[in-house]
Amino acid sequence: MNNSIVYKLTDKLYMIRYNDTEIKYFEALWEIPEGITYNSYLYLGEKTILFDTWKKGKCTEYIESIKKIIEPEKIDYLVIHHMEPDHSGCIKEIIKYNPNLTIISHPLVNKMIRTFYGINNYNFRAIKDNEVLEIGDAKLRFIYTPWLHWPETIMTYLEKDKILFSGDAFGSYSIPKEIYADKADKKYIEYMKKYFVTVIGHYRQHVLKNLEKLSKINIEPKIIAPLHGALWKDYSYLVELYSKWAKAVSDNNKVTIIYSSMYGYVEAMIKKIIDELTKRGCDVHIYKFTDTEHSFISEVLMDVIDSKAIILGTATYETGIFPYMRYIVQLLIDKVNSRKKMLIVTSYGWGGVAGRLLKKMLEQSQFEIIDIIEFNNTYTPEMFEKIVSVINKL
Ligand code: FEO
């Protein structure tokens, strides 16, 4: 199956994209049945400049795709925006075709190339932050954007053409049908949000710093070219989205419920809670871990980032928190940590402990625990009254 796309974006610029339909877990962690793309770009001016490569293991197809445009021996420069192997995986193959080409990147990248790929003989040009290089007819401004998504990450602004190569930032999961994204495509925006929270969510404070930095540099991109997913033409919309997600701004009405239920006791309580929330017109998103269904954790994170409140329901397991719930709460702390109201519901067979342990886990986070409702398997009418009063507080 041919998964590569070569697309002419401008007179001189091509996109070379791999549609990864086989991947199941991005970074071996995040469930992505929608797949992902790896985007590389090739500029054919007075000099030939390649921007990033593809994932390790896809290099034969990558070289074949480049050959549809130009002989790889003719590549003069390779700009590396990010060293994660989903983009740097074919550096070695590119150098084989032209050992004299020059790699341009952040100073940290020089050592990373050696340690990641065992390559020692190549030309490397380290760039300074906000440095401008004229390469043939191309004028490139290089901007350090640390922690989007690693410390060495940079963006490049092609000045005359007003194209911003944004690296992982503004990228997305899924394999878009169209080359350019449409902001009316709500499903695609959800995939972008899922990518943002799972991949960059941990560095949300750096996202805000980098957005501020970019706002002070005189750039007005007409095309934004990320390393994953569709390209964009609306830069201000992207800044707005990233700012909102980095601040974990809530949709006022949205509540996300995440629960585990081994024998249905927690689930019965959660159903009551869902009824109460629905009566109040809340937009309720439900994720569950039961003996018949396991939700995708990547989608839990996607929904939590813009929820007003979070409800955690967990069974007690081996005198502790049900393992999936412990893992999810740790991820919430790592990637979403923000001022959101939280209600904890736990059930136990012979000794309540999960609520106390969850409270301890969440103590140092910014989440605001409204209440912890613990019950001994079946719930009583008094407990139901309590639920109603707690939901009112939420
Ligand atoms: Fe798409 Fe951080 O790599």
**Ligand 1 and 168: CB distance under 6 A:** yes
Nearest CA to ligand 1 atom 1: 168
Predicted pLDDT of residue 352:
76
pLDDT of residue 351: 74
Where would I find the beta strands (DSSP E) of 21-122?
25-26, 30-31, 36-44, 48-51, 77-79, 102-105
Check residue 297 and give its pLDDT. 98
pLDDT in tens, 14-63: 999 999 999 999 999 999 999 999 999 999 999 999 999 999 999 999 99
In degrees rounded to 5, what are phi and psi of residue 112?
-65, -40
Work out the mean pLDDT of the chain and round it to a whole number. 95
Ordered by where they begin, the domains of the chain are 4-246 (3.60.15.10), 254-393 (3.40.50.360)
Ligand 1 neighbourhood includes 52 CB (under 6 angstroms): no
Nearest-atom index, ligand 1, CA of 227? 1
Low-confidence ranges of the chain (pLDDT < 50): none
In DSSP terms, 86 is beta-bridged to none
Distance CA 9, CA 254 (A): 39
Which pTM was predicted? 0.96
Cα of 196 vs centre of ligand 1, distance in Å, is: 11
Ligand 1 lined by 83 (C-beta under 6 Å) = no
Relative to beta strand 131-135, strand 309-317 is unpaired
- Give the per-residue pLDDT at 394: 82
Q: Which pLDDT score, from 0 to 100, does residue 374 have?
A: 87
Bridge partners, 40 (sequence order): 16
